[in-house]
Amino acid sequence: MRVIEVRRERAGAEQDAELVRAVHRAAFASDSGEPVEVGLVDALRADPGWLPHLSLVAVLDGQVVGHVVATRATVDGAPALGVGPLGVLPAFHGRGVGTALMYALLGAAQARAESLVALLGEPGYYGRFGFTAASGLGVLAPDPGWGPYFQALLLAAEAPTGAFRYAAPFDDLG
Ligand SMILES: CC(C)(COP(=O)(O)OP(=O)(O)OC[C@H]1O[C@@H](n2cnc3c(N)ncnc32)[C@H](O)[C@@H]1OP(=O)(O)O)[C@@H](O)C(=O)NCCC(=O)NCCS
């Protein structure tokens, strides 16, 4: 069996930033040019909401094949986490890479006593990690039109309720 290693994104001389860009460029590829997720990760890395311990890469046979990041968000002004983007190179889909990244992220978040994680995504995918519609947990999406696609997961018995705000670079996505 091939082992999927999940580790923190490296900064400094041997940094993973370009490999992370390549992951999201391929994972979110479309006909309309550079995917917004590529620039989003770079903007997040430069933002005060960046949490280095929650930017994780998945490595298979020495190759970076996936990336996920959670950044500082707020719920009614209290600290929370916003997840995204999560991307896996298309050639490696369906091998558990996304699952490994998400479980590693959630474990790292819980170890740091985070109370709530939220994201915008497919309920059919994120339900397996325990995410449910955020509105049912009293967490209001930045855009009410997101409906059930805005999901949250409680990591603690006590978690804030109210309006969710992502780190600032998400506001520039339009
Ligand atoms: C979504 C993504 C990260 C999943 O990564 P992955 O490594 O292929 O995922 P895993 O191998 O851990 O899990 C595969 C399972 O997820 C399911 N799945 C993948 N994308 C899904 C989606 N959009 N909706 C519902 N289920 C999905 C697969 O059907 C498969 O199901 P199974 O376990 O019942 O067979 C990857 O497909 C990807 O990078 N997609 C493009 C970018 C993207 O959409 N990111 C998420 C943004 S919300």
* Cis bond before residue 85 (omega within 30° of 0): yes
> Could you give the C-alpha distances from 99 to 8, 41, 48, 128, 144, in angstroms and in order?
16, 20, 27, 9, 28
Nearest residue (by CA) to ligand 1, atom 22, is 125
Q: How confident is the model at residue 174 (pLDDT cuts 50, 70, 90)?
A: low
- Helix (H/G/I), strand (E/B), else coil: 142: coil
What is the rounded average pLDDT of the residues 80-97? 98
Instruction: Determine whether 46 is exposed, middle or buried from the number of CB atoms within 10 Å of its CB (0-12, 13-18, 19+).
Output: exposed
Any atom of ligand 1 within 6 Å of the Cβ of 87: yes
Q: Which amino acid is at 85?
A: P
Q: Which amino acid is at 92?
A: F
Of 157, 168, 116, the C-alpha closest to 140 is: 116
0.85 cut: is pTM over it? yes
Least confident of 12-21, 43-52, 61-70, 145-154: 12-21
Any atom of ligand 1 within 6 Å of the Cβ of 123: no
Cα 125 to middle of ligand 1, angstroms: 6
133-161 per-position pLDDT tens digit: 999 999 999 999 999 999 999 999 999 99
Q: Is the pLDDT of residue 22 over 90?
A: yes
Nearest residue (by CA) to ligand 1, atom 28, is 94
Point out the ligand 1 atom lying closest to the alpha carbon of residue 119.
48
Q: How confident is the model at residue 12 (pLDDT cuts 50, 70, 90)?
A: confident
* Pocket probe mutation, ligand 1, options 125, 131, 166, max atoms within 8 Å of Cβ: 125
57-86 per-position pLDDT tens digit: 999 999 999 999 999 999 999 999 999 999
